[in-house]
Amino acid sequence: MQLPLFKALKTINIEDEQATEIVDSMEDYIAMKMKEVTAPLAARIEGVDAKLSALDTKMGALQWTIGIIGAVIAIATAFSGVARFITH
């Protein structure tokens, strides 16, 4: 409950029950408006999360690809060294 609003209502002789109802209604209204205003932002954040998830998947695949390329280069270099050793 918003205490300053409640106190203001009490100073103009509104009964506790009515003041409480007014404050509760105001809180509900504010919460509803905040939800309406932030809904597009929440949707945009969800979109960014989805893109980040897709990017994370692609990064994982890229790491595996780089690892495999590195292993192939290491194996090719080793075989090249062995081939040179055998031919000399």
d(CA 53, CA 22): 44
pLDDT digits (tens, 9 = 90+) for 7-33: 888 889 898 899 899 999 999 999 999
Residue-level pLDDT at 83: 79
H-assigned helices in 1-88: 3-11, 16-87
Residue-level pLDDT at 4: 86
Task: Over range 35-53, report the average pLDDT.
Answer: 95
Beta carbons of 16 and 37 less than 8 angstroms apart = no
Task: Over range 38-51, report the average pLDDT.
Answer: 94
Q: Is the whole-model pTM more than 0.75?
A: no
- Side-chain half-sphere of 49: how many Cα atoms within 13 Å? 6
